[in-house]
Structure formats: C-alpha cells, structure tokens
Amino acid sequence: MIVSKKALPRRTFLRGVGTALALPLLDAMIPPLTALGATAADPARLRRLGFVYMPMGCDIGRWTPPGADALHELSPILSPLEPVKRHVTAITNLELRNSYPGTHATSNSGFLSAARAKLTESTDYHLGTTADQIAAREIGRATQLPSLELSMDLMATVGQCDNGYACVYQNNLSWSSPTTPLPSEAHPRLVFERLFGEGGTAADRRAALRRRASLLDSVVEEVARLRNRLGPADRARVDQYLESVREVERRIQRAEAATKDDALPDLDRPVGVPADYAEHARLMFDLQVLALRGDVTRVITFQLARETSARTYPEIGVPDPHHPLTHHGNDPAKVARMAKINTFHVSLFAEFLAKLAAVPEAGGSLLDHSLYLYGSGMGDPNVHDHTNLPILVAGGAAGRMKGGRHIRYAEPTPLANLHLTLLDKVGVRLDSFADSRGQLDELFEPLSM
C-alpha cells in the first residue's frame, strides 16, 4: 500500500515580524501510517518534564494524606487537588541527605541536584548538574529552547545570603554544570518574547514591540495558508491555541498599562509584572502551558517564591511575611497561617494541572503526556529539616503513571531516587543520580511491548 500524503513537520513555525510561533501537535503532524498501527501517543515522542518549587517547606501534618495506597481522602493543604487527584501521586518520607546542615540555601540548591553545596560566600561556588538540565541535554535538543527557567521573584542579590552560603544557591534552581547556575526569569513579557519572539537584546525586544501591535497580527497570512492544509479538527485546535496566545498577550499588556504611569514603581518588581501574586503566578503557569503545547520546550522549572521570602499574602488573609511564619515555634496560630500559604500555592498548581488536562493531544491530553514534580527541599521549616519532604508527582507519562495514590515509605528514601525515575521515564537513562539507591518503580506501569 502506498501512502502519498505527507505529514506536516512537528517543528512547523508560523513566522512573522520578529516572531517564530510554534504550533501544537496536530493530526496533520502524525504520519499517515500511524493510523495503520503505530501509536500517536508514543512515549518516545511525547516527553515533557517540569518542576515546581515550593519554598520553605510546609506544615507536614496538614500536608500528608491520611491514608496509604489509594488517594481517597486529601489532606487540608492538598484539598485543592480534588478535581485532578486522579493525575496526582503524593510521596511521603523522601529526604535530601546532602542538604544538611539544614539551611534555606541548601534546600533550594539540593531540590534538583540532590548534591552537597560548597560552603562559600564567594564566586567559587560548587553544586552539581540538576535533573532538569540532564533532561534538557537529551530531550531538549529538538526544541527551540532546551529548557525554560521561571520564577516569581526578580532577585539580583549577590554575596552571602544564608549561614555562609552564597546567594547563588537560593537564587537558582537549575545548574547546567556544578559551577554554572542558570538564572530564572520572572517578567512575563520577557518570557513571552523568549518563547515566541526571535530573541536579541532587551533593547531589541522593546523595539520589536513598538513595530508590531500584536504577535499574531504579524503571522495572519501564514495562519490563513496553514488552515487551507488542515482538516476541521486541526483548524479548531489551531484557532484555540492562537486565541490562548493572544489572551496571554492581552494580560501582559494590561499589566504593563497598569504600572507604566507609576511615579515610583516597586523596585523589586519589574514594570509589567502583575501586582497581584495570584495573577502573576497564573500568568507564568499559562506561559508554561503555551510553551509545552507549542513544543517550544520540553523541560521547565518554576520557583513559586524564593527561600527566605518575606512576601505577604493579604489576598488570602495572611498579612504576615512568609519566612518569619515558618519559624513558628509551634505556635498554632502561626502554623495555621503558614498552612494557608501552603494551600494557596497548591491551589495554583491544581489550576495549572486542570489547564493541561483540558488541552487535547494525541488521543489524550497535554497532562497525559507530561510529568511534573511539585515540592520543597525542606520538610519542617521550623527546624530546617530535609527529611519527610512534601512531594507530589503529576501527569501521565503517556499513560504509564499510576495516579490517585499516596506512596508512604517506611524508611527515609533519597529524593534522588525520584529524580532518577523521572529521568528514566522521559527517556534519559542513568545508572545513578547523586545519592540515589535505585528507581521508584512503583510509580509507573511497565511499558508494554
């Protein structure tokens, strides 16, 4: 049998003025022979790995689910996950042994490296290559961006930040080598342009913005030509994706308009960043949805707040700075307020998972073909403990992950075991990672042959 129809290349871009807009996975990108037997949702083709960092641990009593095995009942902090809990597994009793002696710096730096940070206040810092960057070397080679590093705080602090540890350990989750930390971006506009623009300096990007009223306006002719090559389902998929891009752009423009006339803008918040924490976080999560949907990148890290953050959360009734609350001295009122912050952060992650689950892709959803790790490098922040970490794994790994469960280990188990497992499931084979002692095979179904 001869199949003459050519599939649309997966790396198809709509190009305009200063714009290279990747497209979501379409039926037209799946080779015709797929329909004759191959699987569209091939795990080897749909590999995405993300990490969301929650700073300063949590109230582990309100975090830990009450049961084991099936996740029938959620804990108070995890209650926002109810609509998506079938996609989520909670893991209890993981540890970061190399993060002792306990500090905020080593909580952040150890989360993705599981390595021991060199005690230094200077530029001779040394850590380890982080799990996200190991993944980026393998699964990021075919994408526009090998990885994307995001945060909620623009921090340029240098020098010593925590008990003799250089600030670089708290400022950066991702390290491409033991001596190369990767800075994160908190400004939505700069992230948007990095994903959908053609780069250049900050001045170049600002000039490009002045030359075009909207990113999508510059690709309208290409959109029209593309639609003529697509079937009805793909046309609807493209329209929905482009509207999502336009909506994110509108929100960024509204945020910029709301702050451009401030006589004295907040020096810790660049102009154009929403003043409201939740709106800023949702915007950063939505940018992740677009990045994954367009296959601009397959590896993402996101820091919900920096360790020792003094951010307050009046929108949820917590006017206290976050960091002092974590040193609560077992004061029930302070612990309860800290738990409200923990719950708030989880609620934003739950919204993000629901958005991934709502995007159809290759016989499933975007969430089905992604893996996300959510958690902290600190357990009980009152004592700077790195044992019994709050950890969640979400997604489907192309149908292989068993969700809706609570895995409780009887003995402290290296977080590095989980990193080794997640890397393996996105096709990155390692014999070991940091202080790992093996994979957590119970997280996944065996791959059927």
pLDDT score, position 13 = 60
The verdict on residue 286 lying in a domain is no
pLDDT band at 225 (very low <50, low <70, confident <90, very high): confident
Q: For residues 305 and 414, state if they share a domain.
A: yes
Q: For residues 216 and 324, state if they share a domain.
A: no
pLDDT at 387 over 70: yes
The verdict on residue 292 lying in a domain is no
pLDDT score, position 64 = 97
Q: For residues 182 and 304, state if they share a domain.
A: yes
- For the stretch 107-157, pLDDT in tens is 999 999 999 999 998 889 999 999 999 999 999 888 888 999 999 986 655
Q: For residues 177 and 198, state if they share a domain.
A: no
Compute the distance between CA of residue 323 and CA of residue 312 in angstroms, rounded to an integer: 9
Q: Which domain holds residue 377?
A: 48-186+299-443
Question: What is the C-alpha radius of gyration for the chain, rounded to an integer number of angstroms?
Answer: 22
Last residue of a domain, one of 272, 289, 315: 272
pLDDT score, position 413 = 97
Q: What is the mean pLDDT of residues 52-60?
A: 96
Compute the distance between CA of residue 288 and CA of residue 172 in angstroms, rounded to an integer: 18
pLDDT at 419 over 90: yes
Of residues 296 and 224, more confidence is placed in 296
pLDDT score, position 259 = 56
Q: For residues 55 and 143, state if they share a domain.
A: yes
pLDDT band at 256 (very low <50, low <70, confident <90, very high): low
Compute the distance between CA of residue 122 and CA of residue 135 in angstroms, rounded to an integer: 29
Compute the distance between CA of residue 356 and CA of residue 260 in angstroms, rounded to an integer: 32
Contact between residue 52 and residue 304 where contact means Cβ atoms under 8 Å apart: yes
The verdict on residue 289 lying in a domain is no
Q: What is the mean pLDDT of residues 280-305?
A: 94
Residues in CB range of 337: below 8 A, 6 or more apart? 318, 320, 325
Of residues 205 and 274, more confidence is placed in 274
DSSP H helices, 358-444, are 415-425
Q: For residues 314 and 173, state if they share a domain.
A: yes
Residue type, 88: V
pLDDT score, position 57 = 96
pLDDT score, position 224 = 77
Q: Give Dmax (Cα) for the chain.
A: 74
pLDDT score, position 265 = 39
Compute the distance between CA of residue 349 and CA of residue 354 in angstroms, rounded to an integer: 9
Q: For residues 305 and 174, state if they share a domain.
A: yes
As a whole-number percent, the residues of the chain with pLDDT over 90 amount to 57
Compute the distance between CA of residue 56 and CA of residue 81 in angstroms, rounded to an integer: 20
Q: For residues 93 and 156, state if they share a domain.
A: yes
The verdict on residue 448 lying in a domain is no
pLDDT band at 294 (very low <50, low <70, confident <90, very high): confident
User: What stretches of 143-297 adopt beta strand conformation (E)?
Assistant: 148-151, 160-162, 165-166, 174-177, 180-182
**What's the mean pLDDT when you consider all of the chain?**
83
Q: What is the mean pLDDT of residues 227-246?
A: 80
Closest alpha carbon to 68 in 431, 409, 374:
409
Find the angle CA(21)-CA(22)-CA(26) to the nearest 5 degrees. Answer: 135
Q: Is the dihedral of CA 206, 207, 208, 213 positive or negative?
A: positive
Q: For residues 177 and 309, state if they share a domain.
A: yes
pLDDT score, position 362 = 79
The verdict on residue 100 lying in a domain is yes
Question: Which CATH number is 397's domain given?
Answer: 3.40.720
What is the residue whose two structure tokens read 């510059």? 218
Full 3-state SS string of 242-261: HHHHHHHHHHHHHHHHHHCC
pLDDT at 292 over 90: yes
- For the stretch 5-18, pLDDT in tens is 455 665 566 665 55
pLDDT score, position 236 = 81
Residues in CB range of 273: below 8 A, 6 or more apart? 154, 186, 187, 188, 255, 259, 280
pLDDT at 274 over 70: yes
- Report the number of secondary-structure helices (H) and strands (E) in the chain: 12, 16
Closest alpha carbon to 273 in 157, 367, 158, 191:
191
pLDDT score, position 444 = 82
Compute the distance between CA of residue 350 and CA of residue 179 in angstroms, rounded to an integer: 34
Compute the distance between CA of residue 333 and CA of residue 422 in angstroms, rounded to an integer: 37
Q: For residues 413 and 321, state if they share a domain.
A: yes
Highest mean pLDDT among 59-73, 180-194, 332-346, 357-371: 332-346
Q: For residues 104 and 180, state if they share a domain.
A: yes
Contact between residue 57 and residue 386 where contact means Cβ atoms under 8 Å apart: no
Last residue of a domain, one of 257, 272, 287: 272
What is the total count of domains within the chain? Answer: 2
Q: Is the dihedral of CA 302, 307, 309, 311 positive or negative?
A: positive
pLDDT at 393 over 90: yes
Q: What is the mean pLDDT of residues 159-175?
A: 84
The verdict on residue 399 lying in a domain is yes
Q: For residues 311 and 234, state if they share a domain.
A: no
The verdict on residue 285 lying in a domain is no
pLDDT at 3 over 50: no
pLDDT at 192 over 90: no
The verdict on residue 278 lying in a domain is no
pLDDT score, position 5 = 46
pLDDT score, position 376 = 98
pLDDT at 52 over 80: yes
pLDDT band at 262 (very low <50, low <70, confident <90, very high): very low
